[in-house]
Structure 1
Amino acid sequence: MSASRHRSINEDAILDAARDCVLAVGWKRTTLTDVARRANVSRMSIYRKWNDMRRLMSDVMTREWTGLPGIEELLRNDDQHNAHSLRDLATALLAITDSLRENKLFAKVIDVDPEIMLTYVIQRRGRTQNWGIAAFEQMIHQGQAAGTIRDGDPAAMAHTILLLCQSWLVSAPIMAGPPTLEALRAEQVELLTRYLEPS
């Protein structure tokens, strides 16, 4: 296959095919050959960019998680901190976290291959977590400049917010019952709001 043929391959189509394969049979049962077949490209075309499923799925998950509904609006570089209260901000953060838990791909991985996600909880951070920390840090810088978020180290605060959201993502369903998930969400919003508000 020529270099021009390789460059013409639609990477989004490959990621879509990988996502579809995982939704069908799970991550561990999906191979690069399966993805190539579903995308209707040669196996070597995929190998040139992704030499194993871990690398391919890293790109799939990064695209999926960073494209969740509400993220773009939340992180838009405008005067959002003057337009929205910290309670609105906290509510939006938890709503995005809820949407990740309800995401079909996330739910499939948790249901079929949960140990893969465990890697990103107890062993190392993934690209999406690093992306979230950077986005939160930017948001905090903006809020501090606008006077709507308290003083403090934006990096440490961003890591703390990620820890809160990650705990809510993974553990909220098993903690409900009573209290209800709605009651727990209200307490999380209160916790995050008070954490960020200026003294």
Structure 2
Amino acid sequence: MLSISNAPEIGDRILAAAASCVVDFGVDRVTLAEIARRARVSRPTIYRRFPDTQSILTALLTSRVVAVLDEVPQTGADRAAIVDRVIGVAARLRDDEIIMAVLHSAPELAMTYIAERLGSSQQILIDALAADLAVAQAGGSVRAGDPGQLAAMVLLIVQSSVQSARIIEKILPVEVLAAELRHAVNGYLI
């Protein structure tokens, strides 16, 4: 048995357990009991952190998006560097098994964040991009405009390419999709 001082953080164990459940079962069959079993914690321990399975899944998706954003470095402050990062984040999200499992096993959940409401992970992406765009605008490499609005539009463009990549794969293989997305985002920001 792990000592308390050596035990992984419980919240991280819960999210890791939820991730493995999503991969193994799809979103609709994920249960709080199975998450608790895989995380090696009691259900009351989970309830102290999350009110229900849906909130665990939401936290899982947010943590995945934030991790991807942190993994793709900002290599400069100009438009080219911003576009590089956007394309890198899009590729990582497109290849993330949890993100894709949610898109493909729970389209109704995905549709909520595509058509009905802005999720916290989407807002995090918009805020990070808006901050970068403001710096690039000051340097003259990004066109004028409200950075938050520009970032929101880039999110819409990129989100569409991520969620639809599989259906257009024969027309736009991964490398071509990335090149075309780069062209679209760069052109939008000029």
TM-score (norm: length of structure 1): 0.82
Call closer, same or farther: CA 1:97–1:149 in 2, change over 3 Å. same
Aligned to 2:77: 81
Aligned to 2:3: none
Aligned to 1:44: 44
SS at structure 2 position matched to 1:67: helix
SS at structure 2 position matched to 1:178: coil
2:73·2:85 contact (CA, 8 Å) conserved in 1?
Answer: no
The amino acid that maps onto 1:130 is Q
1:144·1:151 contact (CA, 8 Å) conserved in 2?
Answer: yes
The percent identity for this pair of structures is 31
Q: Which of the two has higher C-alpha Rg?
A: 1
Of 94, 99, 105, 1:101 maps to 94
SS at structure 1 position matched to 2:16: helix
1:87·1:190 contact (CA, 8 Å) conserved in 2?
Answer: no
Aligned to 1:4: none
Alpha-carbon distance in 1 for matches of 2:165, 2:21: 28
Of 158, 164, 168, 2:161 maps to 168
* Equivalences for residues 114-129 of structure 1 within 5 A: 114-129=107-122
The Cα shift of 1:149 comes to 1.6
**Unmatched 5+ residue regions in structure 1?**
1-7
1:28-47 CA distances to partner (integer Å, 9 max, x unpaired)? 11111111111111111111
TM-score (norm: length of structure 2): 0.85
1:70·1:96 contact (CA, 8 Å) conserved in 2?
Answer: no
The Cα shift of 1:181 comes to 4.7
The Cα shift of 1:87 comes to 3.8
The amino acid that maps onto 1:81 is A
Of 112, 133, 149, 1:156 maps to 149
The Cα shift of 1:184 comes to 4.1
Size of the aligned set, in residue pairs, is 183
Call closer, same or farther: CA 1:62–1:178 in 2, change over 3 Å. closer
Aligned to 1:144: 137
**Unmatched 5+ residue regions in structure 2?**
1-7
1:76-132 CA distances to partner (integer Å, 9 max, x unpaired)? 8xxx225xxx34532431232122111111222233222221111111111111111
1:68·1:99 contact (CA, 8 Å) conserved in 2?
Answer: yes
SS at structure 1 position matched to 2:30: coil
